[in-house]
Structure 1
Amino acid sequence: MRTAACTTVFAVVILVLSLTGSQMATAVTCSVTELSPCLPAITSSSPPSGTCCAKLKEQKPCLCGYIKNPSLRSYVTSPNTRKVARACGVPIPQC
Protein backbone atom coordinates (compact mmCIF):
# COMPACT_ATOMS: atom_id res chain seq x y z
CA MET A 1 0.00 0.00 0.00
CA ARG A 2 2.76 2.42 0.90
CA THR A 3 4.39 2.03 -2.52
CA ALA A 4 1.12 2.93 -4.26
CA ALA A 5 0.79 6.09 -2.16
CA CYS A 6 4.36 7.13 -2.96
CA THR A 7 3.79 6.48 -6.65
CA THR A 8 0.62 8.61 -6.60
CA VAL A 9 2.37 11.47 -4.82
CA PHE A 10 5.27 11.26 -7.26
CA ALA A 11 2.86 11.35 -10.24
CA VAL A 12 1.09 14.42 -8.84
CA VAL A 13 4.40 16.21 -8.29
CA ILE A 14 5.49 15.46 -11.87
CA LEU A 15 2.12 16.72 -13.18
CA VAL A 16 2.36 19.97 -11.20
CA LEU A 17 5.94 20.58 -12.33
CA SER A 18 5.07 19.95 -15.97
CA LEU A 19 2.09 22.33 -15.81
CA THR A 20 4.16 25.01 -14.12
CA GLY A 21 6.87 24.63 -16.74
CA SER A 22 4.40 25.07 -19.57
CA GLN A 23 3.04 28.25 -17.98
CA MET A 24 6.54 29.64 -17.58
CA ALA A 25 7.27 28.94 -21.23
CA THR A 26 4.31 31.10 -22.28
CA ALA A 27 5.28 34.12 -20.18
CA VAL A 28 5.23 37.35 -22.18
CA THR A 29 7.77 40.11 -21.87
CA CYS A 30 5.90 43.38 -22.25
CA SER A 31 7.78 45.54 -24.70
CA VAL A 32 5.95 47.97 -26.94
CA THR A 33 8.74 47.62 -29.51
CA GLU A 34 7.45 44.09 -30.13
CA LEU A 35 4.54 45.77 -31.92
CA SER A 36 6.78 47.43 -34.52
CA PRO A 37 5.57 45.05 -37.28
CA CYS A 38 2.19 46.80 -36.90
CA LEU A 39 3.49 50.30 -37.67
CA PRO A 40 2.86 50.14 -41.44
CA ALA A 41 -0.76 49.13 -40.86
CA ILE A 42 -1.28 51.73 -38.12
CA THR A 43 0.26 54.60 -40.07
CA SER A 44 -1.34 53.79 -43.44
CA SER A 45 -4.42 52.11 -44.79
CA SER A 46 -2.62 48.81 -45.48
CA PRO A 47 -3.98 45.70 -43.78
CA PRO A 48 -2.00 44.24 -40.86
CA SER A 49 0.50 41.53 -41.70
CA GLY A 50 0.42 38.08 -40.19
CA THR A 51 3.47 39.01 -38.12
CA CYS A 52 1.67 42.10 -36.83
CA CYS A 53 -1.37 40.08 -35.78
CA ALA A 54 0.80 37.43 -34.13
CA LYS A 55 2.72 40.06 -32.15
CA LEU A 56 -0.49 41.87 -31.20
CA LYS A 57 -1.98 38.62 -29.91
CA GLU A 58 1.25 37.85 -28.05
CA GLN A 59 1.29 41.29 -26.43
CA LYS A 60 -2.44 41.21 -25.54
CA PRO A 61 -1.74 40.72 -21.79
CA CYS A 62 0.38 43.89 -21.91
CA LEU A 63 -2.17 46.23 -23.52
CA CYS A 64 -3.59 47.57 -20.23
CA GLY A 65 -0.08 48.44 -19.10
CA TYR A 66 0.49 50.32 -22.34
CA ILE A 67 -2.86 52.11 -22.01
CA LYS A 68 -2.04 53.17 -18.44
CA ASN A 69 1.29 54.60 -19.57
CA PRO A 70 0.67 58.30 -20.39
CA SER A 71 3.30 58.33 -23.12
CA LEU A 72 1.81 55.28 -24.90
CA ARG A 73 -1.93 55.66 -24.27
CA SER A 74 -2.73 57.83 -27.30
CA TYR A 75 -0.96 55.39 -29.63
CA VAL A 76 -2.61 52.26 -28.25
CA THR A 77 -6.09 53.78 -28.22
CA SER A 78 -5.89 55.61 -31.57
CA PRO A 79 -8.57 54.85 -34.18
CA ASN A 80 -5.99 53.31 -36.53
CA THR A 81 -4.62 51.03 -33.81
CA ARG A 82 -8.18 49.96 -32.95
CA LYS A 83 -8.78 49.20 -36.64
CA VAL A 84 -5.65 47.04 -36.82
CA ALA A 85 -6.52 45.26 -33.57
CA ARG A 86 -10.06 44.60 -34.84
CA ALA A 87 -8.67 43.18 -38.12
CA CYS A 88 -6.42 40.87 -36.06
CA GLY A 89 -9.27 39.81 -33.77
CA VAL A 90 -7.70 41.38 -30.69
CA PRO A 91 -10.02 43.55 -28.61
CA ILE A 92 -8.51 46.67 -27.04
CA PRO A 93 -9.32 46.26 -23.34
CA GLN A 94 -11.13 48.79 -21.17
CA CYS A 95 -8.64 49.26 -18.33
Structure 2
Amino acid sequence: MAKKIASLALLVVIVMVVLLVETPTTKAVTCSPVQLSPCAPAIISSQPPSSVCCSKLKEQKPCLCTYYRNPTLRQYINSPGAKRVASTCKVSVKC
Protein backbone atom coordinates (compact mmCIF):
# COMPACT_ATOMS: atom_id res chain seq x y z
CA MET A 1 0.00 0.00 0.00
CA ALA A 2 2.84 2.41 0.86
CA LYS A 3 4.54 1.73 -2.49
CA LYS A 4 1.28 2.40 -4.30
CA ILE A 5 0.88 5.73 -2.49
CA ALA A 6 4.49 6.68 -3.22
CA SER A 7 4.03 5.83 -6.91
CA LEU A 8 0.83 7.82 -7.04
CA ALA A 9 2.50 10.76 -5.34
CA LEU A 10 5.36 10.71 -7.84
CA LEU A 11 2.94 10.66 -10.74
CA VAL A 12 1.02 13.55 -9.20
CA VAL A 13 4.21 15.55 -8.96
CA ILE A 14 5.11 14.85 -12.54
CA VAL A 15 1.71 15.84 -13.80
CA MET A 16 1.76 19.00 -11.72
CA VAL A 17 5.06 19.92 -13.24
CA VAL A 18 3.71 19.45 -16.72
CA LEU A 19 0.93 21.94 -16.06
CA LEU A 20 3.36 24.52 -14.87
CA VAL A 21 5.74 24.65 -17.82
CA GLU A 22 6.02 27.96 -19.65
CA THR A 23 8.98 27.77 -21.99
CA PRO A 24 11.94 25.43 -22.22
CA THR A 25 15.34 26.67 -21.22
CA THR A 26 18.48 26.32 -23.29
CA LYS A 27 20.19 24.27 -20.58
CA ALA A 28 20.43 20.57 -21.40
CA VAL A 29 18.22 18.59 -19.05
CA THR A 30 17.83 14.86 -18.72
CA CYS A 31 14.08 14.34 -18.56
CA SER A 32 13.25 12.00 -15.73
CA PRO A 33 9.99 12.16 -13.77
CA VAL A 34 11.80 10.50 -10.87
CA GLN A 35 13.69 13.78 -10.40
CA LEU A 36 10.42 15.24 -9.10
CA SER A 37 10.15 12.82 -6.18
CA PRO A 38 11.14 15.53 -3.65
CA CYS A 39 7.78 17.15 -4.45
CA ALA A 40 5.67 14.11 -3.55
CA PRO A 41 5.21 14.97 0.15
CA ALA A 42 3.96 18.46 -0.70
CA ILE A 43 1.61 17.21 -3.40
CA ILE A 44 -0.07 14.56 -1.27
CA SER A 45 -0.29 16.67 1.88
CA SER A 46 -0.86 20.28 2.75
CA GLN A 47 2.76 20.97 3.63
CA PRO A 48 4.59 23.56 1.54
CA PRO A 49 7.06 22.36 -1.10
CA SER A 50 10.70 22.25 -0.06
CA SER A 51 13.36 24.33 -1.77
CA VAL A 52 14.69 21.09 -3.28
CA CYS A 53 11.23 20.37 -4.73
CA CYS A 54 10.99 23.83 -6.31
CA SER A 55 14.53 23.55 -7.64
CA LYS A 56 13.84 20.17 -9.23
CA LEU A 57 10.53 21.40 -10.62
CA LYS A 58 12.24 24.35 -12.29
CA GLU A 59 15.06 22.10 -13.52
CA GLN A 60 12.59 19.71 -15.14
CA LYS A 61 10.49 22.51 -16.65
CA PRO A 62 11.66 21.82 -20.25
CA CYS A 63 10.37 18.26 -19.83
CA LEU A 64 6.94 19.03 -18.43
CA CYS A 65 5.06 19.13 -21.72
CA THR A 66 6.53 15.75 -22.61
CA TYR A 67 5.30 14.42 -19.29
CA TYR A 68 1.91 15.99 -19.98
CA ARG A 69 1.61 14.12 -23.26
CA ASN A 70 2.07 10.85 -21.41
CA PRO A 71 -1.45 9.53 -20.67
CA THR A 72 -0.25 7.86 -17.48
CA LEU A 73 1.15 11.09 -16.07
CA ARG A 74 -1.39 13.58 -17.43
CA GLN A 75 -4.10 12.57 -14.99
CA TYR A 76 -2.04 13.87 -12.09
CA ILE A 77 -1.38 17.32 -13.51
CA ASN A 78 -4.81 18.59 -12.65
CA SER A 79 -4.63 17.52 -9.02
CA PRO A 80 -5.13 20.33 -6.51
CA GLY A 81 -1.89 19.41 -4.75
CA ALA A 82 0.15 19.57 -7.95
CA LYS A 83 -1.34 22.93 -8.89
CA ARG A 84 -0.65 24.29 -5.42
CA VAL A 85 2.98 23.15 -5.47
CA ALA A 86 3.53 24.60 -8.93
CA SER A 87 2.01 27.89 -7.92
CA THR A 88 4.06 28.05 -4.72
CA CYS A 89 7.24 27.29 -6.68
CA LYS A 90 6.25 29.89 -9.30
CA VAL A 91 6.41 27.41 -12.17
CA SER A 92 3.76 27.63 -14.87
CA VAL A 93 3.04 25.18 -17.67
CA LYS A 94 1.80 26.09 -21.12
CA CYS A 95 1.97 23.26 -23.61
TM exceeding 0.5: yes
Give the aligned partner of residue 37 of structure 2.
36
Give the aligned partner of residue 75 of structure 1.
76
Alpha-carbon shift at residue 75 of structure 1 (Å): 1.5
Structure 1-normalised TM-score?
A: 0.69
Q: Note the alpha carbon deviations across 1:56-91, whole angstroms, 9 max, x for none.
A: 000011110111100000122322101100000001
CA distance in 2, matches of 1:30, 1:79: 23
| Regions of 4+ moved over 4 Å | none
Identity %: 60
Q: Which runs of 5+ in 2 are unaligned?
A: 1-25
Number of aligned residue pairs = 70
67-76 vs 49-58, which moves further: 67-76
Is the Cα–Cα contact under 8 Å of residues 82 and 92 in structure 1 kept in the other structure? no
CA distance in 2, matches of 1:84, 1:29: 22
Q: Note the alpha carbon deviations across 1:11-64, whole angstroms, 9 max, x for none.
A: xxxxxxxxxxxx6xx300110000000000000000000000000000011110
